[in-house]
Amino acid sequence: AIDHNTNKRIAVGEEARLMIGRTPANIVAVRPMRDGVIADYQTTELMLKYFLEKAGAKRWPFFKTRVVVCIPSGVTEVEQRAVKQAAYQAGAKDVKVVEEPYAAALGAGLDISGPTGSMVVDIGGGTTDIAVLSLSGIVAKKSLRVGGDKFDEAISRYIRRVHNLMIGERTAEQIKIEIGSAIPEGFPAGQIAVRGRDLITGLPKTIKVNSQECYVALQESIELIVAAVKEVLERTPPELSSDIFDKGIIMTGGGSMMYGFDTRLSRETG
């Protein structure tokens, strides 16, 4: 959240997110990262400075701040340089980049050092990264500009089209988190009261939205991710494909909601 009158940072992270749609004209809540890449360079630099300070990094001549930045697997060289440069400008002395599915695999506790295949689907806020890993490297990968933000937009469009109700970004995200569903049966089942502005009368209005409607709203985005997973599997060597069939697929998420399916146990895992 930036005060345009003084060009100073007001808030970062969750505190700034709560300000979306609720700020006066001089304060604007912005998202400096869009679709996994930098959309606003100066604001990204301010954000990184905040996180480095929060982590205890100091600008001491004898203190070398080493930073690791995750990037989508499909970014260009120019986008990668922009991320590294923003980290340097924020105070880092040594910057390394690592592809998001690789970091997600390590975070999920996968042993990717051996000659067996593991598949990771990392659904973030701006991108979905799909990768097959083996021997500490990425064998096949694909990155989509589809993630939690696109899910929110899809829900907002659905509510506007079907219920003639205009809702904000935060409300769409709340619907996704509380009752969002990626399967037709609507798991987790339930409904939520949604408040917004009636497009016909212009007055405030409250409606009920259920999990089945969320599935319909999200279906197109989910199908894009499923198609990308199939594409990566088609480019995976048969030996690694059999490993993935035995082990299942690890699905992780940052700015999104999704469920993983463990093929060994044939059960849904949150």
Confidence at residue 225, expressed as pLDDT on a 0 to 100 scale = 95
Mean pLDDT over all residues of the chain?
A: 85
- What is the pLDDT at residue 206? 95
Residue with tokens 């609720």: 22
pLDDT tier at 187, thresholds 50, 70, 90: low
Percent of the chain with pLDDT over 70: 90
Contacts of 193 (CB under 8 A, 6+ apart): 206, 207, 208
Please give the pLDDT value at position 252: 81
Residue 249 pLDDT exceeds 70: yes
Q: What is the pLDDT of residue 160?
A: 96
Is the model's pLDDT at 258 over the cut of 60? no
Q: pLDDT band for position 13 (50/70/90)? A: confident
* pLDDT, tens only, 158-182: 999 999 999 998 899 999 999 988 8
Which alpha helices (H) appear in the chain, and where do they start and end? 14-17, 41-54, 77-89, 100-107, 148-163, 169-179, 211-234, 238-247
Classify residue 125 by its DSSP letter. Answer: S
For 42-83, what is each residue's pLDDT tens digit? 888 888 888 888 887 776 666 778 889 888 888 888 888 988
Q: Is 206 exposed, middle or buried (0-12, 13-18, 19+ CB in 10 A)?
A: exposed
Pairing outcome for strands 118-123 and 249-253: parallel
Q: What is the mean pLDDT of residues 217-244?
A: 94
CA atoms within 13 A of residue 10's CA, in its CB half-sphere: 20
Helix boundaries (H) for 3-123: 14-17, 41-54, 77-89, 100-107
Count H helices and E strands in the chain, helices first. 8, 16
pLDDT in tens, 137-155: 999 999 999 999 999 999 9
**Radius of gyration for the chain, computed over Cα atoms and rounded to the nearest angstrom:** 21
Q: Exposed (0-12), middle (13-18) or buried (19+): which is 110, by Cβ within 10 Å? A: middle
| Residues 216, 182 contacting (CB under 8 angstroms) | no
135 pLDDT above the threshold of 90: yes
Determine contact, residues 155/220, Cβ cutoff 8 Å.
no
pLDDT value of residue 268: 39
Residue 62: what pLDDT? 66
pLDDT band at residue 254 under the 50/70/90 scheme: low
pTM of the model: 0.81
For residue 233, the tally of other CB atoms under 10 A from its CB is: 17
List, for residues 92-122, the tens digit of each pLDDT value. 889 999 999 999 999 888 889 999 999 999 9
DSSP notation for 199-236? TTT-SEEEEEEEHHHHHHHHHHHHHHHHHHHHHHHHTS
